[in-house]
Protein backbone atom coordinates (compact mmCIF):
# COMPACT_ATOMS: atom_id res chain seq x y z
CA UNK A 1 0.00 0.00 0.00
CA UNK A 2 1.26 3.48 -0.73
CA UNK A 3 1.31 6.11 1.95
CA UNK A 4 -1.59 8.30 0.79
CA UNK A 5 -0.95 10.79 3.57
CA UNK A 6 2.62 11.25 2.39
CA UNK A 7 1.35 11.66 -1.18
CA UNK A 8 -1.20 14.29 -0.11
CA UNK A 9 1.48 16.22 1.80
CA UNK A 10 3.71 16.17 -1.30
CA UNK A 11 0.89 17.47 -3.51
CA UNK A 12 0.19 20.23 -1.01
CA UNK A 13 3.86 21.25 -1.01
CA UNK A 14 3.85 21.42 -4.82
CA UNK A 15 0.66 23.52 -4.74
CA UNK A 16 2.34 26.03 -2.42
CA UNK A 17 5.83 25.92 -3.96
CA UNK A 18 7.68 29.18 -4.54
CA UNK A 19 11.18 27.69 -4.95
CA UNK A 20 11.78 29.01 -8.46
CA UNK A 21 10.72 31.93 -10.64
CA UNK A 22 8.02 29.86 -12.39
CA UNK A 23 5.67 30.35 -9.44
CA UNK A 24 5.38 34.03 -10.35
CA UNK A 25 3.85 33.39 -13.79
CA UNK A 26 1.98 30.11 -13.30
CA UNK A 27 -1.76 30.04 -12.84
CA UNK A 28 -1.84 26.57 -11.31
CA UNK A 29 0.92 24.11 -10.42
CA UNK A 30 0.38 20.71 -12.05
CA UNK A 31 1.48 18.00 -9.60
CA UNK A 32 0.24 14.98 -11.57
CA UNK A 33 -2.76 12.69 -11.50
CA UNK A 34 -3.97 9.14 -11.91
CA UNK A 35 -3.73 5.79 -10.20
CA UNK A 36 -1.50 5.58 -7.14
CA UNK A 37 -0.92 1.92 -8.05
CA UNK A 38 -0.31 2.57 -11.73
CA UNK A 39 0.53 0.16 -14.53
CA UNK A 40 2.73 2.92 -15.97
CA UNK A 41 4.07 6.27 -14.74
CA UNK A 42 4.29 8.71 -17.66
CA UNK A 43 6.68 11.63 -17.25
CA UNK A 44 6.52 14.65 -19.57
CA UNK A 45 8.55 17.83 -19.58
CA UNK A 46 6.46 20.69 -18.14
CA UNK A 47 2.85 21.88 -18.23
CA UNK A 48 1.61 23.87 -21.22
CA UNK A 49 -1.19 26.43 -21.45
CA UNK A 50 -4.20 24.15 -20.91
CA UNK A 51 -2.43 22.34 -18.09
CA UNK A 52 -1.60 25.67 -16.42
CA UNK A 53 -5.26 26.70 -16.70
CA UNK A 54 -6.66 23.48 -15.29
CA UNK A 55 -3.92 22.21 -12.95
CA UNK A 56 -4.04 18.84 -14.75
CA UNK A 57 -1.27 17.19 -16.82
CA UNK A 58 -1.58 16.49 -20.54
CA UNK A 59 -5.08 17.89 -21.15
CA UNK A 60 -4.30 19.97 -24.28
CA UNK A 61 -3.73 18.75 -27.84
CA UNK A 62 -0.68 16.65 -26.90
CA UNK A 63 -2.71 15.24 -24.01
CA UNK A 64 -5.48 14.14 -26.39
CA UNK A 65 -2.92 12.17 -28.38
CA UNK A 66 -1.41 10.71 -25.20
CA UNK A 67 -4.88 9.64 -24.00
CA UNK A 68 -5.52 7.98 -27.40
CA UNK A 69 -2.20 6.13 -27.21
CA UNK A 70 -2.94 4.94 -23.66
CA UNK A 71 -6.35 3.70 -24.78
CA UNK A 72 -4.81 2.05 -27.86
CA UNK A 73 -2.98 -0.36 -25.56
CA UNK A 74 -6.11 -1.26 -23.62
CA UNK A 75 -5.57 1.08 -20.66
CA UNK A 76 -7.26 4.28 -19.51
CA UNK A 77 -5.88 7.41 -17.85
CA UNK A 78 -7.23 6.01 -14.57
CA UNK A 79 -4.88 3.00 -14.87
CA UNK A 80 -1.74 5.12 -15.11
CA UNK A 81 -0.09 8.05 -13.34
CA UNK A 82 0.84 11.12 -15.41
CA UNK A 83 3.22 13.86 -14.32
CA UNK A 84 6.02 16.12 -15.53
CA UNK A 85 9.64 16.79 -14.61
CA UNK A 86 8.76 20.44 -13.90
CA UNK A 87 5.44 21.13 -12.19
CA UNK A 88 4.82 24.73 -13.32
CA UNK A 89 4.47 26.17 -16.81
CA UNK A 90 7.50 27.94 -18.23
CA UNK A 91 6.27 31.23 -19.76
CA UNK A 92 5.51 30.98 -23.48
CA UNK A 93 6.11 27.20 -23.26
CA UNK A 94 9.88 27.66 -23.42
CA UNK A 95 12.04 24.73 -22.30
CA UNK A 96 12.55 24.70 -18.53
CA UNK A 97 16.03 25.88 -17.49
CA UNK A 98 18.56 23.57 -15.84
CA UNK A 99 18.02 25.48 -12.60
CA UNK A 100 14.23 25.03 -12.78
CA UNK A 101 14.67 21.30 -13.45
CA UNK A 102 17.19 20.94 -10.62
CA UNK A 103 14.95 22.84 -8.19
CA UNK A 104 11.83 20.83 -9.05
CA UNK A 105 13.46 17.38 -9.26
CA UNK A 106 13.08 16.47 -5.55
CA UNK A 107 9.29 16.49 -6.08
CA UNK A 108 9.55 13.93 -8.89
CA UNK A 109 11.95 11.81 -6.84
CA UNK A 110 9.47 11.80 -3.97
CA UNK A 111 6.62 10.91 -6.33
CA UNK A 112 8.64 7.93 -7.56
CA UNK A 113 9.51 6.92 -3.99
CA UNK A 114 5.89 7.09 -2.83
CA UNK A 115 4.19 5.58 -5.89
CA UNK A 116 6.93 3.04 -6.64
CA UNK A 117 6.02 2.54 -10.31
CA UNK A 118 7.37 -0.60 -11.97
CA UNK A 119 7.34 0.94 -15.44
CA UNK A 120 8.25 4.54 -16.29
CA UNK A 121 7.62 5.87 -19.79
CA UNK A 122 9.33 9.19 -20.49
CA UNK A 123 7.79 11.53 -23.06
CA UNK A 124 10.30 13.51 -25.11
CA UNK A 125 14.06 13.90 -24.96
CA UNK A 126 14.14 16.26 -21.98
CA UNK A 127 12.25 13.87 -19.68
CA UNK A 128 14.31 10.95 -21.02
CA UNK A 129 17.58 12.72 -20.22
CA UNK A 130 16.49 13.66 -16.69
CA UNK A 131 15.15 10.19 -15.81
CA UNK A 132 18.04 8.27 -17.38
CA UNK A 133 20.38 10.57 -15.40
CA UNK A 134 18.45 9.88 -12.19
CA UNK A 135 18.81 6.16 -12.89
CA UNK A 136 22.53 6.50 -13.62
CA UNK A 137 22.03 5.37 -17.22
CA UNK A 138 23.61 6.99 -20.23
CA UNK A 139 21.29 9.08 -22.39
CA UNK A 140 22.56 9.54 -25.92
CA UNK A 141 19.59 10.63 -28.03
CA UNK A 142 15.88 10.03 -28.23
CA UNK A 143 16.31 8.95 -31.87
CA UNK A 144 18.54 6.08 -30.74
CA UNK A 145 16.86 5.20 -27.46
CA UNK A 146 13.12 5.57 -28.04
CA UNK A 147 11.31 2.26 -27.62
CA UNK A 148 14.19 0.62 -25.72
CA UNK A 149 13.52 -1.28 -22.50
CA UNK A 150 15.98 -0.22 -19.78
CA UNK A 151 16.26 -1.93 -16.41
CA UNK A 152 17.27 0.59 -13.77
CA UNK A 153 17.25 1.56 -10.11
CA UNK A 154 16.05 4.95 -8.89
CA UNK A 155 16.47 5.64 -5.15
CA UNK A 156 16.71 1.91 -4.47
CA UNK A 157 13.55 1.17 -6.46
CA UNK A 158 13.86 -1.19 -9.42
CA UNK A 159 12.13 0.22 -12.48
CA UNK A 160 11.86 -0.38 -16.19
CA UNK A 161 12.31 2.81 -18.21
CA UNK A 162 11.01 3.04 -21.77
CA UNK A 163 11.70 6.42 -23.41
CA UNK A 164 9.48 7.57 -26.25
CA UNK A 165 8.86 10.74 -28.25
CA UNK A 166 6.83 13.64 -26.90
CA UNK A 167 3.24 13.53 -28.22
CA UNK A 168 3.42 17.29 -29.01
CA UNK A 169 6.31 16.64 -31.41
CA UNK A 170 4.28 13.93 -33.12
CA UNK A 171 1.16 16.06 -33.63
CA UNK A 172 2.30 17.48 -36.96
CA UNK A 173 4.87 14.85 -37.90
CA UNK A 174 3.34 11.61 -39.22
CA UNK A 175 6.59 9.63 -39.12
CA UNK A 176 7.21 10.58 -35.46
CA UNK A 177 3.59 9.72 -34.70
CA UNK A 178 4.09 6.27 -36.23
CA UNK A 179 7.19 5.72 -34.09
CA UNK A 180 5.22 6.75 -31.01
CA UNK A 181 2.49 4.24 -31.96
CA UNK A 182 5.16 1.55 -32.44
CA UNK A 183 6.72 2.37 -29.05
CA UNK A 184 3.32 1.99 -27.41
CA UNK A 185 3.09 -1.46 -29.04
CA UNK A 186 6.43 -2.28 -27.36
CA UNK A 187 5.01 -1.04 -24.04
CA UNK A 188 1.89 -3.19 -24.52
CA UNK A 189 3.95 -6.27 -25.37
CA UNK A 190 6.16 -5.68 -22.34
CA UNK A 191 3.15 -5.43 -20.01
CA UNK A 192 1.53 -8.53 -21.52
CA UNK A 193 4.72 -10.57 -21.42
CA UNK A 194 5.71 -9.58 -17.90
CA UNK A 195 2.46 -8.95 -15.97
CA UNK A 196 4.07 -9.75 -12.61
CA UNK A 197 6.82 -7.21 -13.29
CA UNK A 198 4.39 -4.35 -13.25
CA UNK A 199 2.55 -5.40 -10.09
CA UNK A 200 3.90 -3.69 -7.04
CA UNK A 201 5.01 -6.14 -4.36
CA UNK A 202 6.10 -5.61 -0.78
CA UNK A 203 8.60 -2.79 -0.35
CA UNK A 204 11.40 -5.29 0.26
CA UNK A 205 11.12 -6.50 -3.33
CA UNK A 206 12.25 -3.12 -4.51
CA UNK A 207 15.17 -2.44 -2.29
CA UNK A 208 18.40 -3.61 -3.81
Q: Where along the sequence are the contacts to ligand URA (CB under 6 A)?
A: 44-48, 51, 57-58, 60, 62-63, 84, 168
Closest contact distance (angstroms) between CB of 139 and ligand URA is 17
Q: Which is nearer to ligand URA, 105 or 206 (CB)?
A: 105
CB 57 to ligand URA: min, Å:
4
Quick count: other Cβ atoms within 10 Å of Cβ 176?
A: 18
- Using the minimum distance from each CB to ligand URA, give the nearer residue, 40 or 192: 40
d(CA 98, CA 208): 30
Residue nearest to ligand URA (CB): 44
Q: How far is the CB of 203 from ligand URA (least distance, A)?
A: 29
CB of 138 to ligand URA, least distance (A): 23
Residues 114 and 7: beta-carbon distance below 8 Å: yes
CB 197, min distance to ligand URA, A: 26
Minimum CB distance to ligand URA smaller for 32 or for 147: 32
Which residue number, 117 or 167, has a Cβ lying nearer to ligand URA? 167
Cβ-defined contacts of 100-105 (< 8 Å, 24+) = 100/20, 100/21, 100/22, 101/130, 103/19, 103/20, 104/19, 104/20, 105/130, 105/134
Task: Tell me whether residue 54 or residue 153 sits nearer to ligand URA (CB atom).
Answer: 54
DSSP secondary-structure letter at 26?
Answer: -
Closest to 150 measured CA to CA, from 167, 128, 170: 128
Spell 84-96 as b/e; 16+ CB within 10 A means b. Answer: bbbbbbbeeeeeb
CA 191 to chain centroid, in Å, comes to 17
Amino acid sequence: MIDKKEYDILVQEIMECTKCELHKTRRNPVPGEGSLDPKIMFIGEAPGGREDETGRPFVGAAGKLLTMLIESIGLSREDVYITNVVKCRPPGNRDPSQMEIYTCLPYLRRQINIIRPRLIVTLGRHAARVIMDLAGLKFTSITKQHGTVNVATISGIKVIIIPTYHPAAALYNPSLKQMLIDDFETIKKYIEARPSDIKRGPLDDFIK
